[in-house]
Amino acid sequence: MRNICRQTGSVIIIVLWTAVLLTVLVTAMAGKVRLSAQTAAHNRDASRNWAQLMATVNFAEMELMLERMPAPIDQQLEESEEGEILNPAYRHDGEALELNYSAPENMVVRIYDHAGKINLNRIPRRNMQLLIEKLLGGEDAEPEEVQDLLIAWIDWTDLNDLEGLNGAEKDYYLELDQAYVPRNNPELDTVEEILHVRGFAELLEGINLDAAFTIYGNARTVNLNVATRETMRLLPGLDEELIETIIAFRELEDISNRAEIAEIIPFENLQELIPWVGTDTSNIYSIFAYPKQEFSGNALTGQRSGFQELDKDAVEPEDRVRQAYMEIVEVRSSNDLPRIYKVDPYGVLPDTAKARVEEYGIEL
């Protein structure tokens, strides 16, 4: 009887272990099948989104080309509340655009005119000094530190290897852990190149360089109608409240001349700002395109807890997207395709928020 009981117990144990193993195998196979299905679904969605993204970028390029065409005689021009005709070129200040060739409903497109950025290849020496001073604290900046950074910039962009007083030339850069030689040319190849100049990596730490600077075009001034917040924060004479005031003003009407700037900028600030500003536009643009999404995370920390597609009839919240597909293009005419200078699938967006009038108690 004991042998029979032992044999029966052994059989039960074997059956139980077999059941456990089968359960594990079935669970693993089910998980693998589910993962494969999810991967296929994600690949399908990615392919569809990529096609829509590229279509949106192409429509944005076509929009810029259309603006080079003569306007139809019967075209209804957009007007401000005061009845003044608005310049369509000033739409390219980063606001979410509705294009003539309708982009997919779930896509957002933003265009930035590079006339709203500081041109590193055209910035006058005096303006570079003023920019350095502001970044170092304005009136509290140490004159010697300002001059050392300015001379380092001059040594980088001049045409020789002669080192200025307390400057930095070839010998200095070759002694670094990761050695390189200075440009010795006023034409930078990329915006990020400025970080190679002695002291500028620390000076510009935390600044979105592509949002604040450009190396394309010939503009020596900044057009406040299309300027990014990142650019305006670097301009002497402007603080956060004045920046938000400018953005709130241009959301209502164009800034057509310096007299209108004087209406919203105090005289003392205006004296510092005037050498920097102009009203020209450019033919260089940054195009950003990305799926319309709702940020459900912490608005202060930027930590996300997930994204959801927006209901097209829902009220659009403040856009919390920070990275998007980006192209820098030059549009010369309506007959030629845009020339593409840079593509960045993970481009960092400038600050896209509307004017923060409530935060600063701004009334126009």
Which long-range contacts link 291-297 to residues 24+ away (Cβ below 8 Å)? Answer: 291/49, 291/52, 291/53, 291/106, 291/107, 291/108, 292/105, 292/106, 292/107, 292/108, 293/320, 293/321, 295/319, 295/320, 295/321
Map 126-156 to HEC letters.
HHHHHHHHHHCCHHHCCHHHHHHHHHHHHHH
Residues facing residue 91 across a β-bridge: none
Domain assignment of residue 79, yes or no = yes
pLDDT of amino acid 339: 97
pLDDT of amino acid 301: 41
Domain assignment of residue 59, yes or no = yes
Residues facing residue 272 across a β-bridge: none
Packing angle between helix 143-157 and helix 125-135, nearest 10 degrees?
140
* Same domain for 303 and 237: yes
Which long-range contacts link 125-130 to residues 24+ away (Cβ below 8 Å)? Answer: 125/150, 125/154, 126/275, 127/275, 127/276, 128/153, 130/236, 130/272, 130/275
pLDDT of amino acid 6: 60
Q: How far apart are CA 202 and CA 188, in angstroms?
A: 19
C-alpha dist (Å) from residue 200 to 193, 205, 236, 313: 10, 8, 18, 47
* Same domain for 236 and 337: yes
Domain count, the chain: 2
Q: How far apart are CA 247 and CA 241, in angstroms?
A: 10
pLDDT digits (tens, 9 = 90+) for 313-338: 444 567 889 999 999 999 999 999 99
* Same domain for 138 and 179: yes
* Same domain for 221 and 111: yes
* Same domain for 216 and 364: yes
| Token pair in block for residue 69 | 């065409």
Contact between 320 and 303 under an 8 Å Cβ cutoff? The reply is no
Question: Which range marks the domain in which residue 179 is found?
Answer: 123-186
**Predicted TM-score (pTM) of this structure:** 0.83
pLDDT < 70: residue spans in the chain: 1-9, 294-317
Domain assignment of residue 328, yes or no = yes
* Same domain for 108 and 127: no
Contact between 325 and 282 under an 8 Å Cβ cutoff? The reply is no
* Same domain for 235 and 321: yes
